[in-house]
Amino acid sequence: MRRFHCTCGQEVIFEDSECPACGRLLGFNPESLTMLAAARHNATKLRFGTGDGLRACALRNHPVACNWLIPANGPHVQCCSCRLTRTIPAQTIPLNVQRWKILESAKRRLVYSLLWLDLPIVDRAQNPASGLAFDFMEDQRTNPLVKKHRVHTGHKNGVITLYAAEADDVHRMMAREQMNERYRTVLGHMRHESGHYYWDVLVKNTEWYPRFRRLFGGEENYREALDCYYAHGPAPNWVSRHISAYASAHPWEDWAETWAHYLHIMSTLETATGFGVIPHADVYSSDFHVLIQKWEQLTVLMNSLNRSMGMPDAYPFWLTPQVIVKLRFIHQVIAAHSQA
């Protein structure tokens, strides 16, 4: 994530809708990945930029508090991130209002990264066959009035389903302990599930597919592989070949976990570049070896800072040679698409 500033010079954060220094109303332009200040302070007709300008997403003054912008004369009332959401948890339950806000906030960070990496984002409402959509769903564990007995976070045919309770810190931490995971966040879930979607878009039935099979393995027997993983756990030597224990369950999960990790790396490197921690040119380097070198240096700093505060390591992972090869493959797939 890059750094953002108001026109008055005050530094603002990605989620800000108002400058804390001068009070100007702010909006994020997903076309240019920049933060803009409103030309007029009229809450019903905010205009940003020049010419025809941009206007606020319809969910700006909603509890979701989306600060993204849309073309003033465009056909949509919601931004390109909010439009991807197809299902939300019942808003008659106050806790679900907060859950939806947290889920949308994480999704905007995901969409920012996808835009920055020049990845295709197709709204499922416009293209039901290959478009992307998000269902934020609850089940009877949190709402006895719904039909679903149990919702599982996952991806199927372009639809990413997230169990709405993942937005609750207590639920998520309990699940992390039960699953023996080192990392579990809402944004992490979205990055992982987006990996399944982009495997379909960028790898399946393309020239990259044979190499995927060589690096990750054949994708046969998916359900049997997951059942085996949940019954018996990961293979004893998973650490040498996979970024996480779950990645060892099946090649599709290995790809999705590695994809999510690549997004973690690139987003954090962009932030570090914005704050001058690493040189600007390095994060935009086409040389993956340079990126990994800078990433390894940065993670030492991140973990050292956390330990100085008495906190667990911010980055509890180790990139083995085999994992780096897989990350490089994803880097090449994305770079080839952006250059096409």
Is residue 172 located within the same domain as residue 287?
no
Is residue 157 located within the same domain as residue 276?
no
Q: Give the list of residues 6+ apart from residue 152 with CB closer than 8 angstroms, or none.
A: 161, 163
User: Is residue 218 predicted with pLDDT exceeding 80?
Assistant: yes
pLDDT in tens, 119-157: 999 888 888 888 999 999 998 888 888 888 889 999 999
Is residue 94 located within the same domain as residue 146?
yes
User: Is residue 229 predicted with pLDDT exceeding 60?
Assistant: yes
Kindly state the average pLDDT of the residues 14-40: 91
Structural domains in the chain (count): 3
Is residue 53 located within the same domain as residue 172?
no
Is residue 142 located within the same domain as residue 34?
no
Kindly state the average pLDDT of the residues 324-336: 95
Domain boundary among 177, 199, 221: 199
Q: How far apart are CA 251 and CA 10, in angstroms?
A: 46
Q: How far apart are CA 101 and CA 91, in angstroms?
A: 11
Domain boundary among 166, 199, 232: 199
Is residue 120 located within the same domain as residue 11?
no
pLDDT in tens, 256-309: 999 999 999 999 999 999 998 887 766 666 789 989 999 999 999 999 999 999
Which region, left, alpha or beta, applies to residue 118 given φ > 0 means left and ψ of -120 to 50 means alpha?
left
| Domain with 182 in it | 80-199
Is residue 210 located within the same domain as residue 338?
yes
Query: pTM value?
Result: 0.93
User: Is residue 182 predicted with pLDDT exceeding 80?
Assistant: no
Instruction: Determine the residue type at 237.
Output: N
Is residue 228 located within the same domain as residue 330?
yes
Domain boundary among 27, 61, 78: 78
User: Is residue 165 predicted with pLDDT exceeding 60?
Assistant: yes
**Pair of tokens at residue 130:** 């290959």
Apex 264 CA angle, 170 and 293, nearest 5? 135
* DSSP code string of 83-127: GGEEE---TTSHHHHHHHHHHHHHHHHHHHHHHHTT----BTTT-
Q: How far apart are CA 323 and CA 216, in angstroms?
A: 10
Is residue 123 located within the same domain as residue 144?
yes
Model pLDDT, residue 139: 87
- Residue 41: pLDDT band (50, 70, 90) is very low
Is residue 213 located within the same domain as residue 155?
no
Is residue 4 located within the same domain as residue 42?
yes
